[in-house]
Amino acid sequence: MTPPSEATEQTPPAAAIRTRKLNFWYGSFQALFEVDLEITAGIITSLIGPSGCGKSTLLRSVNRINERSGDVRTTGTIEVLGHDIHGERVELARLRQKVGMVFQRPNPLPISIRDNVMFGYRLQNPANSRNKSEQEEILEGSLRKVLLWDGVKDCLGRKATSLSLEEQQKLCIARLLPVKPAILLMDEPCSALDPQGTEAVEELIWELRGDFNILLVTHNMAQARRASEECVFMLMGRVIEHAPTVEMFVTPRNPQTSDYIEGRYG
């Protein structure tokens, strides 16, 4: 039997997300070009690059939310945990359960904190809607996971929109957890927050690493460096470089990456 340490050394890390020759169009405008990418499982990967480079388009392709835009077209393949997300038998509701999305600005529902957290769970588990003890356990576990429980446990009936922006963003993450996503997509989740709120959400993202595969879009170079383990630099719809974050920021291989990181454009 091979010792665990040797097996780990011999087995390459699994890919949570894999794209092959991925192209994407909004109408006649091509936003992604021949994107080949493997996002390592169990870590935080950041997508960086100037505005309009395709970061958010790539992120939103992973759960097919781009298709809501109407006149769009995709070629190539995207695999999530080894499964082709454009396969004939893929159900969008099931895909988006496994691939959760956190948006730039918090979007809690205008209902109570409790009902926000349990909203997706109740939709997908109507048979368990009367099991109050199980729901309370899930509610508490989700809020503890995002470090909100102690602050809201005595006011769970309060409207979620009354929380601070930082708390609302944490709540939006908590809302995903009861449906047990495998992947969390985060599209500039701190862009609406002040420095203190940004620090708190970054700490939360770091706490969630290992439990989830996290893909994070950010314009903030300091945030990418602090809060991710691998980094992907995109430019004009193409992946220019993908490397461990420290390596990319200290010794980038591509001069275009170096120019962007050092602020010469973008």
pLDDT, tens digit (0-9, with 9 covering 90-100), for 75-89: 999 999 999 999 999
Task: Report residue 255 CA to chain centroid gap.
Answer: 28
pLDDT of residue 126: 78
266 within domain boundaries:
no
Task: Report residue 72 CA to chain centroid gap.
Answer: 22
> What does pTM read for this prediction?
0.89
156 within domain boundaries:
no
Reply yes or no on whether the pLDDT at 13 is more than 60. Answer: no
Please state, in angstroms and rounded to a whole number, the distance separating the CA atoms of residues 11 and 29: 40
Reply yes or no on whether the pLDDT at 4 is more than 50. Answer: no
68 within domain boundaries:
yes
48 within domain boundaries:
yes
257 within domain boundaries:
yes
31 within domain boundaries:
yes
Mean per-residue pLDDT, 168-194: 95
pLDDT of residue 145: 94
Please state, in angstroms and rounded to a whole number, the distance separating the CA atoms of residues 52 and 74: 18
40 within domain boundaries:
yes
- The answer to whether 206 touches 44, Cβ cutoff 8 Å, is yes
User: What are the pLDDT digits (tens) for 202-252?
Assistant: 999 999 988 999 999 999 999 999 999 999 999 999 999 999 999 999 999
pLDDT of residue 2: 37
Confidence of residue 69 (pLDDT cuts 50, 70, 90): confident
Q: Report the residue count for the chain.
A: 266
pLDDT of residue 266: 57
pLDDT of residue 31: 97
Mean per-residue pLDDT, 40-46: 95
121 within domain boundaries:
no
Reply yes or no on whether the pLDDT at 127 is more than 90. Answer: no
Reply yes or no on whether the pLDDT at 14 is more than 90. Answer: no
Between 132-145 and 113-124, two packed helices, what is the crossing angle to 10 degrees? 120
Q: Which residue range(s) make up the domain with 220?
A: 14-107+183-261
User: What are the pLDDT digits (tens) for 16-25?
Assistant: 999 999 999 9
How many domains are contained in the chain? 1
**Strands of the chain, DSSP E:** 15-26, 29-40, 44-48, 72-80, 83-84, 99-102, 183-187, 213-217, 230-235, 238-244
pLDDT of residue 129: 65
62: domain CATH number?
3.40.50.300
